[in-house]
Structure 1
Amino acid sequence: MKIEALVGDHSWFKNLRAEVIYKPLNLNTVGSIVYAFYKFYRYVILRSAKRNPYDTFLLISSKLGVRPDIIIELAELIRSFDSDVTVATYHLTAFSVWFSQNKNPFYLMQDFPEMVEENEGKLSLNMFYHSLKLPFSFITVSSYAKQLIVENNPLAKVTIAHPGVDLNIFRPRRTNSRNQKKRVMVILRGVRFKGDEVALEVLKNVNKKVPIHVVFVGGKSLVRHYSKTIGLDFEYLVFSNVSDEVLAELYSSSDVLLFTSYAESFGLPPLEAMACGTPVVMTDNKGSRDYAIDGFNALISQPGYVKSLSDNLLKMIQDDKVRERMIENGLETAKKFTWAKTVESFEKALKETN
């Protein structure tokens, strides 16, 4: 198997068996400087600022004539390979796959409108919707994502391959916490659709009634930003750049996961928490409906509804019977979502083209 990618580095993905062929950016001296500026800006600023570096890069690059997506160049590279199937994994590269006219084009669609617009702006959002109209076979991650595709492309053939959980890593672990306060875990991302500010308001509300200890997973600079702008009047620790092993330990050491996204294509953290025996308080973010059931394996509120989330978090902390029911049913739910099943669904979709 071979993977073609626009620059980048996949060394972070352990045990990757596929050969990765990188397409370098074909930039002149000015373009190279602009791209270097973009990478530096993204590395330094993105973790704490709410401004979008991609918009800044697009503005500068448009003035200097740099094409950051190089759709056509990638299409030419794709055309040079004799592949059995060609799979796009991003809405811009979907156009590259289409322009290449290679046989059996597929589109692994994992995005959703809120993420695309916030990260890349309205122009990219329009391109995202247009990419869903391409005459491809689609593989996607949830019923919600499938609905997005079918709404824009009613005749599309769509296979759902849910993301999986590695149950060898994400499993209940014995942890010894000396802190007598209830531990609430929150993953912070610094983008609006993740609902960071909602989570922080919920934590502040609950802490007034039951003192809590919060486990933040996210950038330390982002937490400092929230501490200055919102105020964090509860006890907390911050963990950054954690491995799956450490993430699983943090889930297991927490009494509850609070997950407050406005939208997700699937939303994997609540399922990982369930696999670790950690009960979940979360929002109905659309993508998680394939596994999250209110009152069965999670307590679920509407996105942005601070009072309901606060009430549910208090209930999960204080009602042992509810907690135990959520834990038991969550563990059973997680067993149904394995990477083996993901691969099986993916392979079946690819084989049906031949």
Structure 2
Amino acid sequence: MITTGLAGGVRYVFEVANGLKERGYDVKILSLAGDHRWFKDLKVEVIYKEPMINKISYTLYRLYKIYNLIKHRNSNIKPYDSLLLFSSLLGIKPDIIIELAEFIQNFDSDTTIATYYLTAFSVWFSQSKRPFYLMQDFPELVESNEGRTGLNMFRLSLKLPFSFITVSSYTKQLILDNNPTARVTIAHPGVNLEVFRPRRRELKNDSKKKVMVILRGQKQKGDNVALEVLKIVSKKIPIHAIIVSRKDLVDIYSKTIGINFPYTVFSNVDDETMSRLYSSADAFLFTSYAEGFGLPPLEAMACGTPVVMTDNKGSRDYALNGYNALISQPGDIKSLVNNLIRVLQDDKLKENLIENG
């Protein structure tokens, strides 16, 4: 892994690692950065190697060489050694891909699993036995983080001669679009029903309807859409927003977008708290433009909370419009407003969505 910081994709990796450990496998997680203590019950060892550089720096030359190395996979020249050679000739400092590749080479593993498109190249350059690629990425996320160069590299990673595991039909199709003969298995993320379950409403119950949102600060998450929807709905129905986010991010949004409705911010919450917050809400609003899977709406459904959400592609494997969620197109504020009002005012619709969720 590049980092073990709090994220849905990281949670999925930890759950898989725990599952393998419980089945008797010797599992180690290698990471260049992060802090995994937010995940309370990790049963496997995490070994960190702090990277020598903090910022990823790519060049078109590197992309061209990587492409050639993939194309000539069976040549006598070792791809990892040749990349180091070209890097040294150009005076380029090895980046985190190379650092992680070197880190991997310290461990004699039967199987090595890449968990992000950058780590896919690390695994490949390390020439590990039985390389796997757990693919959870999607173009909007990659371009937001790494720009057009990163997007080109992401597509290139999907052409690597790995066995693929992925999280949804949408991400499987992304792989096949770039690598038609790839072997791809879907393994959906899951929800722990012992934690995410309907609970008593623990927040103070008053005349205001409670709407829960998660704000992440990434463009593709549609934070601005969620806040605009809440602003419009608050003019028609008294609401109180349950916002799960960093307080500094909410302060920024308060100054830039404006927040003219009552709200409470919850930060650094664990799963038990998340479950209580979902259960306390009259509706969960999810406005992402794109997701590899999109776990929060599924967690909300498990907690007996009706979901108003966008068609973010990854959620198509579980979210059915009018059955267990009300679904709008990404960025369609008018539709999201109408759907949220319907859920908050129509008790029969709300109960049907809860039951089917």
Shorter-chain TM-score bucket reads 0.7 to 0.9
Preserved CA contact (<8 Å) 2:198 2:302:
yes
Q: TM-score, normalised by structure 1?
A: 0.81
Q: Which secondary structure does the structure 2 equivalent of 1:11 belong to?
A: helix
Q: Distance in 1 between matches of 2:134 and 2:173?
A: 14
C-alpha separation between the residues in 1 aligned to 2:140 and 2:43?
A: 33
Q: Deviations over 1:37-72 (max 9, x none)?
A: xxxxxxxxxxxxxxxxx68x889xxxx965442x22
The aligned residue for residue 315 of structure 1 is: 342
Map Cα deviations across residues 93-141 of structure 1 (whole Å, 9 max, x no partner): 1111111222211000111110111122221111111001101000111
2:171 aligns with one of 117, 121, 145: 145
Change (3 A) 1:230 1:12: closer
Structure 1 gap ranges (5+): 36-53, 331-354
Residue 288 (structure 1) aligns with: 315
Task: Indicate how the Cα distance of structure 1 residues 97 and 227 shifts in structure 2: closer, same or farther if over 3 A, else same.
Answer: same
| Structure 1 residue aligned with 2:12 | none
Aligned to 2:37: 11
Q: 1:185 aligns with which of 202, 212, 232?
A: 212
Q: Does 2:197 align with 1:171? A: yes
For the residues of structure 1 that align with 2:39 and 2:275, how far apart are their CA atoms? 17
| AA of the residue aligned to 1:132 | L
SS of the residue aligned with 2:235?
Answer: helix
Consecutive aligned runs of 4 or more in structure 1 exceeding 4 Å deviation: 64-68
- Indicate whether 1:249 and 2:314 are aligned: no
Distance across 2 between alignment mates of 1:128 and 1:271: 27
Is the aligned partner of 1:105 residue 2:131? Answer: yes
Cα deviation, 1:264-286, whole Å, max 9, x if unaligned, reads 00000000000000000000000
Q: What amino acid is aligned across from residue 273 of structure 2 in structure 1?
A: V
CA drift of 1:194 comes to: 0.5
1:60-86, Cα deviation, whole Å (9 max, x unpaired): xxxx965442x2232233234222111
TM-score by length of 2: 0.80
Deviation at 1:299, TM superposition (A): 0.2
State the match for 2:28 in structure 1: 2
**Coordinate RMSD, CA, aligned:** 1.8
Within-5 A mapping of 1:125-274: 125-176=151-202, 177-274=204-301
Farther-moved stretch of structure 1 (3-12 vs 148-157) = 3-12
Count, aligned residues: 299
1:133 partner letter: K
For 1:239-267, what per-residue CA distance to the aligned partner results, in whole angstroms no more than 9, with x for missing partners? 11111111111000000000000000000
1:94 to 103, 120, 123: 120
The letter of the residue matching 1:256 is A
- Amino acid of the structure 2 residue aligned with 1:136: F
Aligned-partner Cα distance in 2 for 1:226–1:7:
28
Distance in 2 between the 1:84 and 1:68 partners?
A: 26
**In the aligned structure 1, how far is the partner of 2:45 from the partner of 2:295?**
27
Identity, % of aligned positions: 68
Q: Structure 2 unaligned runs (5+)?
A: 1-26, 60-90
Distance 2:106 2:118 in 1: 19
Moved more, 304-313 or 178-187: 178-187
Secondary structure of 2:108's partner? coil
Residues 207, 238 of structure 2: 8 Å contact kept: no
